[in-house]
Amino acid sequence: MGDVRKKQVLTGMLALIVILTVFGCSKPGEGVKSKSENRDIILATTTSTRDSGLLDVLIPVFEQQTGYRVKTIAVGTGQALAMGERGEADVLLAHSPAAEKKLVESGAVISRHLVMYNDFILVGPPDDPAGVSKEISVSRAFAQIAAGRRLFVSRGDDSGTHKKEMEIWQSTGIKPAGSWYQETGSGMGQTLNVAAEKGGYTLTDRATYLALEKNLGLAVMVEGEGLLLNPYHVMGVNPAMFTRVNGIGGRALIEFLLSAEAQEVIAGYDVEKYGQPLFFAGAGRTEDDLLQ
C-alpha cells in the first residue's frame, strides 16, 4: 500500500474514532438537536402586560428556572390571536374571551386557562366636561359623552380593550363617529397619552393606567361593574396543527404562569408602589367565578 493510501486510511480511522468518542460519550439527545429540544418560545401578548411591567418580572424567573428563552411580542389582542391562528407563536396571553373561544373552537389553540384578571375603567379630564358621574353605569357614561360630543380617544386597533369598548358602544345603540371620536391605532400607553394631551376620555385597563397615572393627569370616571371585568387567559398554540410550534416549551411556560410561584408574583406585583393590585391571581378559577 502506498504512503498516500496509508495516510487516507489512517485519516479515516481517526475521524471514525473521534465521531464514536463524541457520540458515545454524549448524553441521550446530544449531538443532533431535535425539535423537542427547541429552547426558544414565542409569546404573543397584549400591550397591557408589557406596559405594566409584569412580564419583565415573570419571564426572567421562568427563563432562569428552565433554560428556555422567551421572545415576547406585545401587540393588540386581535393581532396576538391572529398570530396564533397562523401558527406564528407558541403561547398566547390575551384578554378577549369571545375571540379566544372562537380560536379554541377552531382547534388552533389548546389548554386555555384563566391566569389573572383586573378591570377596565373609564378615565377622563378631572374637570369632567361631559358631566360623567361615578354613580352612573359605563354605558350611560358613553352615551353622555357622545350626546355632548366630548372627545373620546379609542385605541381602534382590534385589541382586547378596543373590543370591550365596542361592546359598550353596542350596549348604548350608538355607532361612534365624527370629530369627537378619534382612533389612535396604537397601544394603551400611547392612547392614554393622547387622551391626556387633548383632554379626552378613554377606556383603559387598570394596570396600564396605574403604571402611567402620575404623568397623565387623567381621573377615574367609572369603575367597578361586571361589564368592565377584564380576564386574561393563557393558551397554547396547537402543535398538532402547526409543525413549527414549540409545544413542549409552550406547555412549560403555561404551567409556570399557572404555578403557585407565578400566581404569588402576579397577586403582589407593585401593590406596595400603587397601593392596590394591578392584577389579581386567577389560576384555577373561571370567568363565571369572577362574576359571582
Q: pLDDT digit string (tens) for 152-202?
A: 999 998 888 999 999 999 999 999 999 999 999 988 899 999 999 999 999
Residue 251 sits in a domain whose CATH number is 3.40.190.10
Which residue among 228, 257, 272 closes a domain?
Answer: 228
In a domain, 61, yes or no: yes
Q: Which pLDDT belongs to residue 91?
A: 97
Q: Which pLDDT belongs to residue 9?
A: 37
Q: pLDDT digit string (tens) for 235-280?
A: 999 999 999 999 999 999 999 999 999 999 999 998 988 888 889 9
Q: Do 202 and 249 belong to one domain?
A: no
Q: Do 72 and 85 belong to one domain?
A: yes
Q: Which pLDDT belongs to residue 292?
A: 67
Q: Do 124 and 216 belong to one domain?
A: yes
Q: Do 127 and 207 belong to one domain?
A: yes
In a domain, 135, yes or no: yes
Structural domain harbouring 133: 119-228
Beta strands in 85-228 (DSSP E): 91-94, 109-124, 152-154, 181-183, 202-205, 219-222
Q: Do 211 and 248 belong to one domain?
A: no
Q: Do 127 and 73 belong to one domain?
A: no
| Average per-residue pLDDT for the chain | 86
Whether the pLDDT of residue 20 is over 70: the answer is no
In a domain, 29, yes or no: no
Q: What is the DSSP letter of 163?
A: H
Q: Do 62 and 185 belong to one domain?
A: no
In a domain, 20, yes or no: no
Q: From the DSSP assignment, how many helices (H) and strands (E) are in the chain?
A: 13, 10
In a domain, 43, yes or no: yes
Q: What is the DSSP letter of 201?
A: B
Whether the pLDDT of residue 4 is over 70: the answer is no
Overall number of domains in the chain: 2
Q: Do 196 and 241 belong to one domain?
A: no
pTM: 0.78
Q: Which pLDDT belongs to residue 77?
A: 85
C-alpha cell at 158: 382590534
Q: Do 213 and 187 belong to one domain?
A: yes
